[in-house]
Structure 1
């Protein structure tokens, strides 16, 4: 990095062209990490007679200073030569995911094909996941066979989450397999540990926990007591004032992440598959019961109440899942936010959290408000209405946001305030939705 007086000059000229180029590179890297099982990846960016080398992971990107690749090609050629001799792990591949064998496919396919939506699954669609259970004393890895992901939050940076219906080789049952990168900061517990606390407190309406643990760097390293795990490295290169990393421009917020997997042994269907408004309300009620019991018995606050985190069990009841953003709370003690960003799913975040997340701690009232927005969202989204106002009002209420030109902070909540004033998605629209949708009940209170 060049120095100009006491000010550090950025490596990048922040022009419109530079922003577009950066956005394009991020899109390519995101697609790369979504289509392959990767811990990190390298890329080469050539622009005119100059080039850069880049390393991407879930925390961000590390890049070199520009080099002249046409007149002084040594940097580029040496990188390619060294890359040629790297192992799969050193190139960033996740070696804990491999193709299935013929025998594994033979036993897994019949079970997987019975699950709705997986009837046409073929051997070529399957992969073999290894999961290390933190509760295992001998470091054994459990084997799960999965088809393609059934949900994906997308993106490269942060908590990109993949979910799978999986065949458990040990139990021969179908389970959920959740694969994501957990935030590795003080005070943020692993989701598997949270589930253990919830079960110890006898919290109802939550799924049974199977194996859960950090993903090892390789299948061979779990034999050691403190094995290496798949984790991000970008945060190691943050600028430290007066320290050795003076080349990092600005003061970016970069969180460290660790690759994590867990298995849920209770299957469920999406909330949007509810058969009546009565069932919708009962399922959300069951989720509220789980939330309340977790808060009262275990002092755990969920902090990510959303439509995607409430499932309908095979018995038709509701359960609350995805506790990876939850927090141990201390009642009567004021606590500030643990991270620089808000938690939750935008459409269901409370008004106060949307308006000012930086200095407002997430409280139980925020979660309870989120349950209301989930109910309203499902009524408006899933009733099959052809009313022209509904789509427009849905965007105004659930997707509205404002971006500050000064600090680029994104805020929202105004649409929800107007909704509560009975202007957007007003009472008349909701009543009409409840009484005119084809094939569904007339009110939430009748079968």
Structure 2
């Protein structure tokens, strides 16, 4: 059993999904760095909360686990950071003395036992956003040799970082702004906490710094199996502690580490004495054994060879999409059935889908191997909404399987990752929102509801993958139609963009598709749903409530039109989505990969987090909603009226392999 003082055994430099067949590394798209950071800044007000009192932050998120060890192993905080300048011309002037103070130790005492702080800002192309790294990363001592031996071009620093520190040389460059100390509740509620900076030049620098800080947290959570992570933001000698998870971030009040070193020393001590769970690691993921790696490699290779009928370099390239040598993990899925609660174990390596945004479901999708029978399966690992048991994706898929619905993967098993000590701390301050909630309360879904959902699937796919004249503003169009929400009397309601589209064709009236049949189909079906001459976005007109109209039109349409089969356009776009994320982590279920002539469905494993409430007004001055990313190839439109996500299903775009999104 891991003791509290063991350095992070669950941390691993997990690979990212490859972008395309000839991709060798699987990195974040460098060309999108500026756009990605800009999005982070735009959306920060909707998922960053603060300022939270420092002591409250420590007590809620890092309890004092080892008070008896303080006298023996904790260095005194007196004058701990006096050598750190109040401000400087460049960040390195602060980083040097700060590193020395952080690593200060005697034979028996140190600031953060079993951890070391390293300068990670030194990169080959320091001016490129895509190459930048945090100024300082904290590593478990057992990972130091691995990190130090890695290439400067490598991103292994973020694959092993226990936490990171970003330094700006002057307190004026702090991208957060605390309200006055004596402010009343109303003043705090109305205070602009993020980027309240009048000087345009300083604001521009702060925006870039904020976007980059969010990206570092995103990359840490993408390269490690995490429930949450910590970071420290330094502006001159002033510091803030930050906790990041899939629902957003909590930021403390600013404090001067020269004048008040106690909070930072206390944070580092508590962090060092915490367990892996309490430091934010997902301990349901472990390193696989050498024998299991061999089993995994052989099973994946045989499966790919069977499906693609290739060998040599082509086979190696295809296997590389699912396997990175030396980086193989075992993922546990907790299952409750008639025999009670038990656990199944699946072996994975490189995911097919990686979480490229911080806030949201954080989905990973793997080809996995069941070591009990060597079967290749698909494992979906995701965070989910904190909802009713029947709404879990595994239960939905099981229901569809039971009804004999075609083209739905067969569920092997599914379950939630058990709630772990440490996740409870997230409940206190991050807001929970439910996508597409209605003033009408519970809504019974009908066939017209499902027809409307199908309409949005076709509209989304047409926007994303077919030629049209709106490519430039496509990210905004997709975000506004499918993920726009409004905040009313303490609740977030979805469907805002869909309502506007049905009422006035706000988003599609000026779009011309490259193929006339698609244009005709969309315009006709939208008119059936909500006629332009008599808009009906809420209630269903007769042309929609009676499915016969759509059935007759669609049948005639398929008979009279020849649809282009080779007009798909590959578009790399960045889209952000407003989603309601509860603090429940839902581990996805594993599902079996289809054989060439049969589809045997996915497994699911879900990490379900407890519902988080909104921060107390006295502790919150930031925005009221949460943002969630929508990821490239696995984008799916959200259904209206509270319907859940479209279940995973096979894709025909990957040779003969059963690839699921």
Query: TM-score when scaled to structure 2?
Result: 0.40
Asked whether 1:366 is paired with 2:452, we answer yes
User: In structure 2, do the counterparts of structure 1 residues 437 and 92 end up closer, same or farther at CA, with 3 Å as the change threshold?
Assistant: closer
Partner of 2:231: 43
Q: Out of 506, 512, 516, which is 1:424 matched to? A: 512
Offset at residue 434 of structure 1 (A) = 5.9
Aligned mates of 1:112, 1:165 — CA distance in 2: 8
Aligned mates of 2:294, 2:264 — CA distance in 1: 46
Q: Out of 197, 201, 218, which is 2:403 matched to? A: 201
Aligned mates of 1:152, 1:63 — CA distance in 2: 26
User: In structure 2, do the counterparts of structure 1 residues 167 and 67 end up closer, same or farther at CA, with 3 Å as the change threshold?
Assistant: same
Partner of 1:83: 271
Offset at residue 112 of structure 1 (A) = 0.9
Asked whether 1:171 is paired with 2:345, we answer no
User: In structure 2, do the counterparts of structure 1 residues 375 and 203 end up closer, same or farther at CA, with 3 Å as the change threshold?
Assistant: same
Offset at residue 137 of structure 1 (A) = 3.3
Offset at residue 200 of structure 1 (A) = 2.7
Q: Out of 29, 53, 67, which is 2:241 matched to? A: 53
- Residues 115-149 of structure 1, C-alpha deviation per residue, up to 9 Å, x if partnerless? 26542435413211111113263432211111211
Aligned mates of 1:376, 1:177 — CA distance in 2: 28
User: In structure 2, do the counterparts of structure 1 residues 45 and 396 end up closer, same or farther at CA, with 3 Å as the change threshold?
Assistant: closer
Aligned mates of 2:341, 2:389 — CA distance in 1: 25
Larger C-alpha radius of gyration, 1 or 2? 2
Aligned mates of 2:233, 2:343 — CA distance in 1: 38
Aligned mates of 1:430, 1:204 — CA distance in 2: 25
Partner of 2:196: 15
Aligned mates of 2:292, 2:207 — CA distance in 1: 47
SS of structure 1 residue aligned to 2:345:
strand
User: In structure 2, do the counterparts of structure 1 residues 335 and 395 end up closer, same or farther at CA, with 3 Å as the change threshold?
Assistant: farther
Q: What is the aligned residue count?
A: 310
- Residues 375-416 of structure 1, C-alpha deviation per residue, up to 9 Å, x if partnerless? 645872xxxxxxxxx464445667526699x98998477699
SS of structure 1 residue aligned to 2:326:
helix
Q: Out of 112, 116, 119, which is 2:319 matched to? A: 119
Partner of 2:357: 155
1:318-397 to 2 correspondences below 5 Å: 363-373=449-459, 376=462, 380=466, 390=467, 392-395=469-472
Offset at residue 152 of structure 1 (A) = 2.8
Aligned mates of 2:350, 2:376 — CA distance in 1: 14
SS of structure 1 residue aligned to 2:396:
helix
Offset at residue 366 of structure 1 (A) = 2.4
- Residues 302-336 of structure 1, C-alpha deviation per residue, up to 9 Å, x if partnerless? xxxxxxxxxxxxxxxxxxxxxxx999xxxxx9656
User: In structure 2, do the counterparts of structure 1 residues 22 and 146 end up closer, same or farther at CA, with 3 Å as the change threshold?
Assistant: same
User: In structure 2, do the counterparts of structure 1 residues 373 and 391 end up closer, same or farther at CA, with 3 Å as the change threshold?
Assistant: closer
Name the structure, 1 or 2, with higher relative contact order (CA <8 Å, separation 6+). Answer: 2
- Residues 415-442 of structure 1, C-alpha deviation per residue, up to 9 Å, x if partnerless? 99489769611545979x966959xxxx
User: In structure 2, do the counterparts of structure 1 residues 230 and 72 end up closer, same or farther at CA, with 3 Å as the change threshold?
Assistant: closer
1:157-306 to 2 correspondences below 5 Å: 157-185=359-387, 189-216=391-418, 228=420, 231=423, 233-237=425-429, 253-255=431-433
SS of structure 2 residue aligned to 1:180:
strand
Aligned mates of 2:424, 2:469 — CA distance in 1: 40
Determine if contact 1:419/1:426 at 8 Å carries over to the other structure: no
SS of structure 2 residue aligned to 1:134:
strand
Aligned mates of 2:406, 2:338 — CA distance in 1: 25
User: In structure 2, do the counterparts of structure 1 residues 337 and 154 end up closer, same or farther at CA, with 3 Å as the change threshold?
Assistant: farther
Gaps of 5+ in 2: 1-52, 54-180, 198-202, 309-316, 520-561, 568-661
Determine if contact 1:58/1:232 at 8 Å carries over to the other structure: no
SS of structure 2 residue aligned to 1:425:
coil
Offset at residue 103 of structure 1 (A) = 1.4
RMSD between aligned residues: 4.3
Offset at residue 57 of structure 1 (A) = 1.4
Asked whether 1:93 is paired with 2:281, we answer yes
User: In structure 2, do the counterparts of structure 1 residues 89 and 418 end up closer, same or farther at CA, with 3 Å as the change threshold?
Assistant: closer
- Residues 52-97 of structure 1, C-alpha deviation per residue, up to 9 Å, x if partnerless? 1111111222222211102221111121122122221221111111
